Protein backbone atom coordinates (compact mmCIF):
# COMPACT_ATOMS: atom_id res chain seq x y z
CA UNK A 1 0.00 0.00 0.00
CA UNK A 2 2.66 2.50 1.02
CA UNK A 3 2.15 5.94 2.51
CA UNK A 4 -0.70 8.22 1.58
CA UNK A 5 0.82 11.32 3.17
CA UNK A 6 4.14 12.82 4.32
CA UNK A 7 4.00 14.92 7.48
CA UNK A 8 6.48 17.42 8.87
CA UNK A 9 7.59 14.74 11.32
CA UNK A 10 8.35 12.40 8.41
CA UNK A 11 10.79 14.76 6.68
CA UNK A 12 13.98 13.55 8.46
CA UNK A 13 13.23 9.93 7.53
CA UNK A 14 12.30 10.98 3.99
CA UNK A 15 15.68 12.56 3.40
CA UNK A 16 17.47 9.71 5.16
CA UNK A 17 16.18 7.50 2.35
CA UNK A 18 17.41 10.04 -0.20
CA UNK A 19 20.82 10.10 1.51
CA UNK A 20 20.99 6.29 1.46
CA UNK A 21 20.26 6.24 -2.26
CA UNK A 22 22.89 8.91 -2.93
CA UNK A 23 25.43 6.93 -0.88
CA UNK A 24 24.63 3.78 -2.86
CA UNK A 25 25.32 5.64 -6.13
CA UNK A 26 28.09 7.98 -4.96
CA UNK A 27 30.88 6.11 -6.77
CA UNK A 28 28.91 6.08 -10.03
CA UNK A 29 28.13 9.80 -9.80
CA UNK A 30 31.79 10.61 -9.09
CA UNK A 31 32.89 8.51 -12.05
CA UNK A 32 30.45 10.30 -14.34
CA UNK A 33 31.46 13.68 -12.98
CA UNK A 34 35.17 12.96 -13.41
CA UNK A 35 34.68 12.84 -17.17
CA UNK A 36 32.87 16.18 -17.50
CA UNK A 37 33.19 17.92 -14.14
CA UNK A 38 35.21 17.98 -10.94
CA UNK A 39 34.69 14.34 -10.02
CA UNK A 40 33.10 15.00 -6.64
CA UNK A 41 29.38 14.97 -7.44
CA UNK A 42 28.66 11.72 -5.62
CA UNK A 43 30.46 12.87 -2.48
CA UNK A 44 28.70 16.24 -2.61
CA UNK A 45 25.25 14.69 -2.93
CA UNK A 46 26.00 12.14 -0.21
CA UNK A 47 27.25 14.82 2.18
CA UNK A 48 24.45 17.29 1.47
CA UNK A 49 21.55 14.89 1.79
CA UNK A 50 23.11 13.09 4.76
CA UNK A 51 23.17 16.42 6.60
CA UNK A 52 19.53 17.27 5.86
CA UNK A 53 17.83 14.97 8.42
CA UNK A 54 19.73 16.49 11.36
CA UNK A 55 19.25 19.99 9.95
CA UNK A 56 15.49 19.40 9.78
CA UNK A 57 15.40 18.07 13.35
CA UNK A 58 16.79 21.38 14.62
CA UNK A 59 14.01 23.41 12.99
CA UNK A 60 11.15 24.02 15.39
CA UNK A 61 8.37 24.61 12.92
CA UNK A 62 5.09 22.86 12.09
CA UNK A 63 4.75 24.42 8.63
CA UNK A 64 6.09 21.85 6.16
CA UNK A 65 6.90 24.47 3.56
CA UNK A 66 8.88 26.62 5.98
CA UNK A 67 10.85 23.60 7.20
CA UNK A 68 11.83 22.75 3.62
CA UNK A 69 12.77 26.35 2.86
CA UNK A 70 14.98 26.65 5.94
CA UNK A 71 16.60 23.25 5.47
CA UNK A 72 17.31 23.92 1.79
CA UNK A 73 19.01 27.17 2.71
CA UNK A 74 21.18 25.42 5.31
CA UNK A 75 22.02 22.66 2.84
CA UNK A 76 23.57 25.32 0.60
CA UNK A 77 26.10 26.16 3.32
CA UNK A 78 26.93 22.48 3.93
CA UNK A 79 27.73 21.77 0.27
CA UNK A 80 28.45 25.14 -1.41
CA UNK A 81 29.18 23.52 -4.77
CA UNK A 82 27.26 24.13 -7.98
CA UNK A 83 25.05 21.06 -7.66
CA UNK A 84 24.74 21.43 -3.90
CA UNK A 85 23.51 24.97 -4.37
CA UNK A 86 21.09 23.90 -7.10
CA UNK A 87 19.62 21.09 -5.02
CA UNK A 88 19.34 23.34 -1.99
CA UNK A 89 17.68 26.02 -4.09
CA UNK A 90 15.29 23.43 -5.50
CA UNK A 91 14.28 22.34 -2.01
CA UNK A 92 13.83 25.97 -1.00
CA UNK A 93 11.62 26.55 -4.05
CA UNK A 94 9.62 23.43 -3.31
CA UNK A 95 9.19 24.58 0.27
CA UNK A 96 8.04 28.00 -0.83
CA UNK A 97 5.26 26.35 -2.83
CA UNK A 98 4.10 24.49 0.29
CA UNK A 99 4.10 27.30 2.86
CA UNK A 100 0.98 26.93 5.00
CA UNK A 101 0.85 23.14 4.57
CA UNK A 102 1.53 20.56 7.28
CA UNK A 103 1.17 17.48 5.05
CA UNK A 104 2.17 16.40 1.57
CA UNK A 105 -0.14 14.24 -0.51
CA UNK A 106 -0.08 13.71 -4.28
CA UNK A 107 -1.28 17.23 -5.12
CA UNK A 108 1.18 18.84 -2.70
CA UNK A 109 3.99 16.74 -4.14
CA UNK A 110 3.15 18.16 -7.57
CA UNK A 111 3.31 21.64 -6.04
CA UNK A 112 6.67 20.75 -4.48
CA UNK A 113 8.04 19.70 -7.87
CA UNK A 114 6.71 22.87 -9.49
CA UNK A 115 8.49 24.96 -6.87
CA UNK A 116 11.61 22.81 -7.12
CA UNK A 117 11.81 23.49 -10.86
CA UNK A 118 11.34 27.22 -10.26
CA UNK A 119 14.15 27.14 -7.71
CA UNK A 120 16.45 25.47 -10.22
CA UNK A 121 15.54 27.93 -12.97
CA UNK A 122 15.98 31.00 -10.80
CA UNK A 123 19.26 29.94 -9.24
CA UNK A 124 20.83 28.17 -12.19
CA UNK A 125 19.53 30.53 -14.90
CA UNK A 126 18.78 27.41 -16.89
CA UNK A 127 15.88 26.33 -19.06
CA UNK A 128 14.59 23.02 -20.31
CA UNK A 129 16.79 21.66 -23.06
CA UNK A 130 19.99 23.13 -21.59
CA UNK A 131 21.13 19.64 -20.51
CA UNK A 132 20.90 20.12 -16.75
CA UNK A 133 19.22 18.65 -13.69
CA UNK A 134 16.17 20.72 -14.63
CA UNK A 135 15.48 18.41 -17.55
CA UNK A 136 14.98 15.53 -15.12
CA UNK A 137 12.75 17.42 -12.70
CA UNK A 138 10.68 19.21 -15.35
CA UNK A 139 9.90 15.94 -17.12
CA UNK A 140 9.12 14.36 -13.74
CA UNK A 141 6.60 17.15 -13.17
CA UNK A 142 5.02 16.54 -16.59
CA UNK A 143 4.49 12.88 -15.77
CA UNK A 144 3.20 13.64 -12.27
CA UNK A 145 0.53 15.96 -13.64
CA UNK A 146 -0.79 13.08 -15.72
CA UNK A 147 -1.34 10.90 -12.63
CA UNK A 148 -2.82 13.43 -10.22
CA UNK A 149 -6.35 12.19 -10.82
CA UNK A 150 -5.35 9.01 -8.99
CA UNK A 151 -4.53 10.98 -5.80
CA UNK A 152 -2.09 8.23 -4.81
CA UNK A 153 1.22 9.40 -3.36
CA UNK A 154 3.16 6.22 -4.17
CA UNK A 155 1.88 6.14 -7.76
CA UNK A 156 2.57 9.84 -8.15
CA UNK A 157 6.16 9.49 -6.93
CA UNK A 158 6.68 6.47 -9.17
CA UNK A 159 5.54 8.61 -12.09
CA UNK A 160 8.02 11.27 -11.00
CA UNK A 161 10.89 8.77 -11.01
CA UNK A 162 9.88 7.40 -14.41
CA UNK A 163 9.60 10.92 -15.78
CA UNK A 164 12.98 11.89 -14.37
CA UNK A 165 14.56 8.86 -16.02
CA UNK A 166 12.99 9.86 -19.34
CA UNK A 167 14.18 13.44 -18.91
CA UNK A 168 17.68 12.22 -18.06
CA UNK A 169 17.74 9.95 -21.10
CA UNK A 170 16.79 12.94 -23.26
CA UNK A 171 19.88 14.86 -22.09
CA UNK A 172 22.04 12.42 -24.04
CA UNK A 173 21.11 14.24 -27.25
CA UNK A 174 21.32 17.78 -25.82
CA UNK A 175 24.23 20.18 -26.12
CA UNK A 176 25.47 21.26 -22.67
CA UNK A 177 25.49 25.02 -22.02
CA UNK A 178 27.05 25.16 -18.57
CA UNK A 179 30.25 24.14 -16.81
CA UNK A 180 32.99 21.89 -18.06
CA UNK A 181 30.50 19.81 -20.00
CA UNK A 182 29.93 22.81 -22.27
CA UNK A 183 33.67 23.09 -22.89
CA UNK A 184 33.89 19.42 -23.73
CA UNK A 185 30.57 19.20 -25.56
CA UNK A 186 31.78 16.50 -27.95
CA UNK A 187 32.65 14.22 -25.05
CA UNK A 188 29.19 14.82 -23.59
CA UNK A 189 27.39 13.61 -26.70
CA UNK A 190 25.46 10.44 -25.94
CA UNK A 191 26.14 10.75 -22.22
CA UNK A 192 23.37 11.66 -19.74
CA UNK A 193 23.84 14.81 -17.70
CA UNK A 194 25.26 13.78 -14.35
CA UNK A 195 23.16 16.36 -12.51
CA UNK A 196 20.00 14.91 -14.03
CA UNK A 197 21.11 11.46 -12.89
CA UNK A 198 21.60 12.79 -9.35
CA UNK A 199 18.15 14.40 -9.47
CA UNK A 200 16.62 11.07 -10.43
CA UNK A 201 18.33 9.43 -7.46
CA UNK A 202 16.83 12.06 -5.16
CA UNK A 203 13.33 11.24 -6.38
CA UNK A 204 14.07 7.52 -6.15
CA UNK A 205 15.02 7.93 -2.51
CA UNK A 206 11.76 9.75 -1.81
CA UNK A 207 9.86 6.93 -3.53
CA UNK A 208 11.65 4.35 -1.37
CA UNK A 209 10.35 6.15 1.71
CA UNK A 210 6.69 6.26 0.67
CA UNK A 211 6.78 2.65 -0.50
CA UNK A 212 7.56 1.46 3.06
Mean pLDDT over the full length of the chain: 93
Residue 193 contacts residue 41 (beta carbons within 8 Å): no
Residue 198 contacts residue 133 (beta carbons within 8 Å): yes
Nearest one of 160, 171, 170 to 193, comparing CA atoms: 171
pLDDT, tens only, 66-93 = 999 999 999 989 998 889 999 999 999 9
pLDDT at 183: 47
Average pLDDT over residues 2-31: 97
Buried b (16+ CB within 10 A) or exposed e, 182-195: eeeeeebeebbbbb
Least confident of 35-49, 170-184, 188-202: 170-184
Alpha-carbon gap, residue 159 to 24, rounded angstroms: 22
User: Cβ neighbours of residue 9 under 8 Å, at least 6 residues apart?
Assistant: none
**Strand ranges inside the chain, DSSP E:** 6-7, 103-104
Fold assignment, 6-211: 1.25.40
Question: For the chain, which residues make up each domain, given as ranges?
Answer: 6-211
pLDDT at 101: 97
pLDDT at 38: 80
pLDDT interval class at 113 (50, 70, 90):
very high
pLDDT at 34 > cutoff 90: no
CA-to-CA dists, residue 177 to 124, 126, 188, angstroms:
11, 9, 11
> How many helices (H) and strands (E) are present in the chain, helices listed first?
11, 2
pLDDT at 59 > cutoff 90: yes
Amino acid sequence: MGRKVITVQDLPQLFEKVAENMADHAAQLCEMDAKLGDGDLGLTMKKGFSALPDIIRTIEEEDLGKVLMKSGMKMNSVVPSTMGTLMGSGIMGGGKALVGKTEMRAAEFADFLTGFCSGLENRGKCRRGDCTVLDAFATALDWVKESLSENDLVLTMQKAVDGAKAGTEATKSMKPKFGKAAVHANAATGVPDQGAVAGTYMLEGMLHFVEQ
